[in-house]
Amino acid sequence: MNKVAVVTGGSAGIGLAVVEGFIEEGYTAYSLDLQQGASGNWVACDVTDPDAVNRAVETVLAKEATIDALVCNAGIHFSSNIEATSEADLDRVFSINVKGAYHAIRACLPIMKATNKGSIVLLGSDQCTIAKTNSFAYNLSKHAIASMAKTTALDYAKYNIRANAVCAGTTETPLYHKAIDSYCARSGADKNEIHKEEGNLQPLGRIAQPEEIANLVVFLASDKASFITGSLHAVDGGYTAQ
């Protein structure tokens, strides 16, 4: 029987690479997203709406006997310091980045507990452990993701459910290009130069590709990582080692 993976925000970027990585490993993969991606089985879902997430998981379980892996990937980026971050901005970042993962985990835990198995992988960031300028709300949300991975791992180890976070560094995704475009529009900077500078900030001299993040996500979800839980795993080209 094929294993089943559910990925929130699986239509593009790292999420799409994760879906494709699961498919390569023989999983039946479902993407819970507002938009349909190029791969996997799409279930329309707004992760900020707990009822919508519950319905989406029910749709998966109507076709599958179990959910072996859940990847909480849906997220947005927001650049601003605390003074320039309105309460609405903060709520929006948390509703997607933090509460979206909260909703997905709560929806999938009952079937994982019933089958006494499961792996949850949360997509964090290098900002799970460090700070960056103009990143108040986003940084706060990623620290929350790190905490969620650890507490969930401890609370559900007795059910043979593992939880880990992948702390991705700067990665070339549509989200990355949107952030760079926004910065260049505000500052008048040249995008090619900014892209080059971002690469030069990494010890390996470049930013990551989505597949490089997805490789670790799929590994952590697999039985090969059966004794790994409650951990934060950096995939950042050495950035946080500096």
**pLDDT digit string (tens) for 126-149?**
999 999 999 999 999 999 999 999
Would you say residue 123 has pLDDT above 90? Answer: yes
Torsion of CA 105, 106, 108, 112, to 10 degrees: 100
Residue 200 in tokens: 């030069």
Residue type, 42: W
**Lookup result for tokens 């294993």:** 3
Express as a percent the part of the chain with pLDDT over 90: 97
In 10 A of CB 36, how many CB atoms? 14
Torsion of CA 155, 121, 85, 201, to 10 degrees: 130
Residue 132 in tokens: 């960056």
Phi, psi dihedrals of residue 196, rounded to the nearest 5°: -65, -40
Q: How much is the average pLDDT of 2-7?
A: 96
pLDDT band (50, 70, 90) for residue 71? very high
pLDDT given for residue 195 in this prediction: 93
pLDDT band (50, 70, 90) for residue 203? very high
pLDDT given for residue 183 in this prediction: 87
Asked if residues 27 and 3 have their Cβ atoms less than 8 Å apart, the reply is: yes
Would you say residue 1 has pLDDT above 80? Answer: no
Phi, psi dihedrals of residue 78, rounded to the nearest 5°: -150, 125
pLDDT band (50, 70, 90) for residue 97? very high
- Give CA–CA dist 149/78, Å, rounded: 22
Nearest to 163 by CA among 114, 126, 117, 130: 117
pLDDT given for residue 179 in this prediction: 87
Which residues form the catalytic set? 138
pLDDT, tens digit (0-9, with 9 covering 90-100), for 185-200: 999 999 999 999 999 9
Asked if residues 239 and 126 have their Cβ atoms less than 8 Å apart, the reply is: yes
pLDDT given for residue 175 in this prediction: 86
pLDDT, tens digit (0-9, with 9 covering 90-100), for 158-185: 999 999 999 999 999 998 998 899 889 9
Would you say residue 103 has pLDDT above 90? Answer: yes
pLDDT band (50, 70, 90) for residue 112? very high
- Give CA–CA dist 117/158, Å, rounded: 10
Mean pLDDT, all residues of the chain: 97
DSSP string, 82-93: STT--HHHHHHH
Quick one: which H or E segment has residue 65?
Answer: none
Asked if residues 179 and 169 have their Cβ atoms less than 8 Å apart, the reply is: no
Would you say residue 58 has pLDDT above 80? Answer: yes
Asked if residues 180 and 194 have their Cβ atoms less than 8 Å apart, the reply is: yes
pLDDT given for residue 198 in this prediction: 95
Residue 216 in tokens: 């670790």
Classify 163 as helix, strand or coil.
strand
Whether the CA torsion 15, 21, 25, 30 is positive or negative: it is positive
